[in-house]
A and B are shown apart, each in its own frame.
Chain A
Amino acid sequence: MINKSDDIIVMTIARLIIPFIQLYALYVLMHGHYSPGGGFQGGVILGASFILLIITHGIVEARKKISKKAITLFSSFGVFIYAGIGALCLILSGNYLDYGYLSKILHVDAAHARSLGILGVETGVGLAVMAVMVSIFINISSFGESAPENNTDEEE
């Protein structure tokens, strides 16, 4: 289990830099369809910001920001967004992930609907990748034990 750092410089720098890392991750995610980047890279950078929070502020403090239930919810909700947009195109008489048919419910032309569709899919990918990266890191750093919010009293 990772404990809280006792160095004020490390904690202050981490607290200052984490919002900018997350803002950059959102920039990479939003501009993924016409510049380098995209859902996977944005999600990894977003997960790295949470990992930086866990390293510097300890896992107990980080659990207040992103709980175990939130990680599970985000990882499945990202996959749900991806598959849901694909199935929505299937319902609207198109192929799977054929975003052009989304123009019937979005009331825009087909080219704009494709741009919005790929943005929605990449948001789903980014959420899932972020949650899974944080989950892998927490599981490695705690030997796969359950979260400290469950076993604080009996084991320590």
Chain B
Amino acid sequence: MITPFNFIIMIFVLICAITAITVKDLLSAVVILGAYSFFMCLLWAEMGAVDVAFTEASVSSGIGTILMVVAIIKTTRRSKD
């Protein structure tokens, strides 16, 4: 385990999470959420849970992002609040 690398990834995860819930454009929020899952996947892989990292990369960062993009295409792109 490399501790400085862990902290750098943790900072990126925090930045992505806070940005994804504050941004007004929902398509940007989905893309940032995909980046969040990818950094989460890096964190899992770095901590030794390679199988969880694989699932995170394929399910959350691949299928989850594309399902939310399709949902945004079918509804509205701007956030109401």
- A: residues with CB less than 8 A from B are 28, 36-38, 40-41, 44-45, 47-48, 51, 55, 133, 136-137, 140-141, 143
State whether A44 touches B70 (Cβ < 8 A).
Answer: no
Interfacial chain A residues near B70, Cβ < 8 Å? 137, 140-141
- B: residues with CB less than 8 A from A are 50-51, 53-55, 58-59, 62-63, 66-67, 70-71, 73-74
**Closest residue to B59 on the A side, CB-wise?**
A44
How many interface contacts (CB-CB < 8 Å) are there between A and B? Answer: 41
Name A's interface SS. Answer: helix
Interfacial chain A residues near B59, Cβ < 8 Å? 41, 44
Interfacial chain A residues near B50, Cβ < 8 Å? 36
Known: A140-B71, A141-B74. A133 touches B63 (CB 8 A): yes
Interfacial chain A residues near B63, Cβ < 8 Å? 44, 47-48, 51, 133, 137
